[in-house]
Amino acid sequence: MDTLSSSVSTLKVPTLLSSTSSRELHQFNPQSPRTHKLPPQSHLHSTTKPNLISNKTPSFSHKLVSLSSTPSFLNSSATLSLNSSSSSDLHRKPATGYAAALLDIAQCNSSVHLVEKDIQKFLKLLHNKQVQAALANPFVGEKEKGQVVNLVAEKGRFNRHLVGLVKMLVRKNKVGIVKEVLEEFQRIYNELSGTAKKVKNLVHESLLSFAV
């Protein structure tokens, strides 16, 4: 945290975006609402699953294939269908679309839980006093604010898809919704987790009733 604070305080428009990052996530677009499923944590380290992560960072447009071709790493009982009101929210709130797209990619790589943990850490860094001061200062330009957010992303050693999404938002001059996107991911994650737990309890109660 001290290293981050000193880096932010000495920041003078450094070139934080590499040539490769300009190609990364170039065609990313938030997807329409879909049915999301939350993978059980016990599957995170399965050795039988194919390695879907290549050495090169894929574009979001390549990864955001239709749900019909997206592998499911999930317990079928832990399913949540977004209702019509949630669907309209997805169209009204760009942050929700970006969060849902990140969730899709995390699902494809069986890394939903790991990404959620990284998002918790990222949000804590965004609450650093100097970072908050820079982002809230009306006299600091969008470019400089973007550099601060990129610096946080690079210092944290976060999941590459999370970092890619943050950098893409910075390039699109959407620094102002980065925090909202991360919080939306957490909201969806928590909603799915709660639904999965309720379904699990319901199944358990049903089994007990048969045993009586």
Task: State how far the Cα of 142 lies from the Cα of 173, in Å rounded to an integer.
Answer: 7
Tell me what the pLDDT averaged over the chain comes to.
70
Q: Kindly state whether residue 153 falls inside one of the protein's structural domains.
A: yes
pLDDT at residue number 78? 38
Q: Kindly state whether residue 177 falls inside one of the protein's structural domains.
A: yes
Q: What is the mean pLDDT of residues 59-68?
A: 39
Q: What one-letter code names the amino acid at 54? A: S
pLDDT at residue number 92? 59
Question: What pLDDT, in 10s, does the model give residues 116-160?
Answer: 999 999 999 999 999 999 999 999 999 999 999 999 998 888 999
Identify the CATH number of the domain in which residue 128 sits: 1.10.520.20
Q: Kindly state whether residue 63 falls inside one of the protein's structural domains.
A: yes
Residues with Cβ < 8 Å from 179, sequence gap 6 or more?
Answer: 123, 126
**What secondary structure letter does DSSP report for 32?**
P
Q: Kindly state whether residue 14 falls inside one of the protein's structural domains.
A: no
What is the number of structural domains in the chain? 1
pLDDT at residue number 194? 83
Question: What pLDDT, in 10s, does the model give residues 177-211?
Answer: 999 999 999 999 999 888 777 777 777 677 776 66
Task: State how far the Cα of 119 lies from the Cα of 185, in Å rounded to an integer.
Answer: 8
Residues with Cβ < 8 Å from 34, sequence gap 6 or more?
Answer: 67, 82, 100, 104
Q: Please say if the pLDDT value at position 84 is more than 60.
A: no
pLDDT at residue number 202? 72
Q: Kindly state whether residue 105 falls inside one of the protein's structural domains.
A: yes
With cut-offs at 50, 70 and 90, classify the pLDDT of residue 106. very high
Q: Kindly state whether residue 43 falls inside one of the protein's structural domains.
A: no
pLDDT at residue number 77? 36
Q: What is the mean pLDDT of residues 173-177?
A: 93
pLDDT at residue number 97? 93
Q: Kindly state whether residue 50 falls inside one of the protein's structural domains.
A: no
Residue range(s) defining the domain that contains residue 184 = 2-9+27-36+58-73+80-211
pLDDT at residue number 69? 34
Question: What pLDDT, in 10s, does the model give residues 41-61?
Answer: 544 444 444 443 444 444 444
Are 61 and 26 in contact, with CB atoms under 8 Å apart?
yes
Q: Kindly state whether residue 170 falls inside one of the protein's structural domains.
A: yes
| 199, containing H or E segment | helix 178-211
pLDDT at residue number 13? 39
pLDDT at residue number 71? 33
